[in-house]
Structure formats: structure tokens, C-alpha cells
Structure 1
């Protein structure tokens, strides 16, 4: 692997070009995976306008709107890293309500949000229809390796030191979950594209060496 430094603007342009190059008759389901400190939601937001300029209807979804109820997330306490790793996200609901309807032969009818974690109440939004050729951008942490149906997975990688520095002290209890993710899933090998985000002003794209 080699690392190619880019600007944030070039990163967005290259990603938008890659997504828009997909066949126009089917949907494109894109994961923007990364720890909160890597700001995957920010990159997802930045892609919306460029994709629409390229003729792709685009829908933004956050995995944070598909969490399980607090009674399940906090069964072993509010700061249990193992629960954060395996029990917070309702992956089945995210597949059912967003990703599976955008598979080949799907209906295109999706729900943008299902659960409000702050109020711990269901917040099912009205169904929306994404036209064929449209793109859904899903941001979140720990998304890969749990059966979510993505067509393109982008992983925003942070070195352990950068992850610790850029994670607020009150959230350091999540760090063992990300270490476990690295060891058990290996997102840098799982993703279609890996971007190093130690310095968000200077992202770097991992590319395979030519044979």
C-alpha cells in the first residue's frame, strides 16, 4: 500500500466521481465509516451537493438514528465498551429500512430515521422514495463487518494516538471498542477505500501498489 496525500476538496471530488461512475440504473449504498473523531458525517454531508451536481439524487442517513433503545444499549452501563461495540446499533433495522429497499429489485422506499437516542423514543420519519440511480450516504462508527448491505464502503482511519488525542476525555471509554474493531474486523482491509484522517486538513488515501 502507498499513501497519497490530498486536500479535503480533492477527496470529496474523487469520491463523488467514483460514486457517480456507478451504473445509472441502480442505487448506490455508501458507508462513511469512522470513529466520531474522524467526522464521517462531515464527509457525508460534503458529498451531497457534488453528487447532485453529477445528476445523482442523494439521501443522507446517519447510523445514530438507528440505535437500539437505551434499555438495551445501557444494559451493562452507559460506558461499557463491549456494549458500544456490539449492542448499540440496530443493524437489522438499518438494513430493513434503508439498505435492503435499495438493493436490486428493491422498492426504493426508505426511512431516514427510526430512533431518537436523546429522547429514547421512536421517531420513524415518513417513507421517502429514492429514484433508481440515487445514492444513500450512511455515516457512522463500527459499521463494517456486521452484515450491512453496502455497495461502497469508505473507512476513515485514525492511528491509535490520533484517535486518543481527538476523542474527548469523556468519551475515552469508547477507545477499547475501536481497538477491538481493528483487531476483529480489520476495517482497513474490509473497506473499498481507506482514508487516513489523523489531520483532517491533510487526509491521505491508501492505494494498493501496482503489481
Structure 2
């Protein structure tokens, strides 16, 4: 499928080419972080489409599908931005049912979501498989936090200062724009631009 060429698609094609040049074949995970409502999911969707246009098998997932249930979050105390930042997502399940089996390749099955946070309801697991050469694009808040950083081949962060209280806490502890990451200014979604790619 050939996408209609727009400034956004042109930028994403250039980014995709650089990603593929660096990482070649095999299983690869691209993670997209950024402040609340910065457009992470839309950016991940569009990047995945461009990678598919390049002929790759691409899977999509979001940290939204790995929320802890409200009851599970309540076990960590009162509902505060601090609690949400530290315990809002089930990182153990993310590793166990998505990242680790995806990395194994072959016929090992993985799951791209376990919870619907809008309904606070568990999703019936849908185990899927892929070819040895495949790319997973994962978006979500706090996905580039230090304790998850080693999981990703390509860390991308959408530029912007934190405003949401949970993001303020996260960025004070570890700004995802620092380090060896791809920084993208997507504040004008029709005309994204590099804001310091591959620096570090």
C-alpha cells in the first residue's frame, strides 16, 4: 500500500528509513513517549503505517492496554498523580505477555492488550504470532522511564513540557528527552520535525 504523500508522511518515511538502516532485520520494538495528550497514539499509528508501506510486518500496542485495574491501583494507596505515575500500569504483565514473547520470535504468541481502561474491564486475551522479522510499535505515558528503557530498540519522545501533574513528577525524576532518544516536535501534527534525533 502506497500512502498519500504529505509533509507528515514524508517526515515519517525519513524517520522510518533511518530506523531500518540502524536496526535491519529481526524483531524490533519502537517505543513512543511524550507528555499527556501530545499525540503519542496517532504518531505511533502513522509510523506503523509507514513501516508497513516499507514492506514490514508491524504490530501495534499501547500502554493504555496495560493499565492496572482501578481496584489493583487502589492497593497502592490514595488516587494521586504520584500513585498513577508509579503504579498506574502493569509493567510486569507488559513484559510477560508482550515484550518477552515478542522478542522470542518464531511461533511464540504474544498479547497486545489486557485491559480496557475506559470500561475498567479485562480483555479476553488474543494471542497472536508473527514472522521472525517484525516490528512492534508501542506508545504510552512513561514508557521511556529508566526501568523500562532497556526493552526498546528505538526510543522516540514527542517534545513538549509536562503540564499534567503525573507528567511533572515523571519528568522531574527522569526527562525522557534526555539521552540517546529520537526527539520529535509533533505539536503541529501536519508538519512534524526533528527536535534532536539520535542524540546522546
How far is the alpha carbon of 1:58 from its aligned partner? 0.5
Q: 1:77 to 1:118 in 2, by over 3 A?
A: farther
Residue pair 1:66, 1:113 contacting (<8 A) in 2 also:
yes
> CA-to-partner distance for each residue in 1:67-126, whole Å, 9 max, x for gaps?
111113245444x11011111111111111111123266754210111122332321432
Equivalence for 2:159: 157
Segments of structure 1 that go 5 or more residues without pairing to the other structure are: 1-6, 165-174
Segments of structure 2 that go 5 or more residues without pairing to the other structure are: 1-6
Matched, 1:186 2:175: yes
RMSD, aligned CA: 2.5
> CA-to-partner distance for each residue in 1:127-149, whole Å, 9 max, x for gaps?
10021110111011111122251
Q: 1:193 to 1:133 in 2, by over 3 A?
A: same
Greater strand share, 1 or 2?
A: 1
How far is the alpha carbon of 1:209 from its aligned partner? 10
How far is the alpha carbon of 1:20 from its aligned partner? 2.9
Residue pair 1:154, 1:191 contacting (<8 A) in 2 also:
no
> How many residue pairs align between the two structures?
190
> CA-to-partner distance for each residue in 1:2-25, whole Å, 9 max, x for gaps?
xxxxx423331122213333222x
CA distance in 2, matches of 1:193, 1:71: 35
Residue pair 1:155, 1:191 contacting (<8 A) in 2 also:
no
Secondary structure of the structure 1 residue equivalent to 2:156: strand
Residue pair 1:110, 1:130 contacting (<8 A) in 2 also:
no
Q: TM-score, normalised by structure 1?
A: 0.79
